[in-house]
Amino acid sequence: MNTKKNDGQTGARADYLDAHPKAKALQESHLKTITSRIGNYRKKMIGRAQDWIDAANEARAIGVLIVDFLDTLPGKQLTTDFWGQMEKLFVDQYGNAITQDQLKWFVKVANAAPAPFKDILGALAYRQPLLLAAGDSDVLQLISERAPQILHAPPNPLNELKTVLNHTELEDIFKRLHGDVNYCPGGRLRQDLRETLRVELAPTFALLDELRLELGIN
Domain boundaries, the chain: 150-218
- Residue 203 phi/psi, 5° resolution? -60, -35
- Looking at this protein, which amino acid is placed at residue 23? A
Most confident of 27-41, 56-70, 150-164: 56-70
Burial of 152 (0-12, 13-18, 19+ CB in 10 A): exposed
What is the number of helices (H) and of strands (E) in the chain?
11, 0
Strand partners, 97: 91
Q: Return the closest-CA partner of residue 132 out of 153, 105, 107.
A: 105
Which amino acid type is present at position 4? K
Return the beta strands (E) in 24-132 as ranges: none
CA torsion 40-45-50-51 (nearest 10°) is: 100
Give the distance from CA 122 to its chain's centroid.
Answer: 9
Task: Read off the pLDDT band of 148 (50, 70, 90).
Answer: very low
| pLDDT tier at 10, thresholds 50, 70, 90 | low
Mean predicted confidence (pLDDT) in 9-33: 77
Alpha helices, DSSP H, located in 165-216: 167-178, 191-200, 202-215
Q: In the predicted model, what is the mean pLDDT of residues 173-188?
A: 86
- Which pLDDT band holds residue 2 (cuts at 50, 70, 90)? very low
- Indicate the pTM of the whole model: 0.52
pLDDT digits (tens, 9 = 90+) for 97-146: 888 888 988 998 998 888 899 988 888 888 888 888 887 555 555 555 55
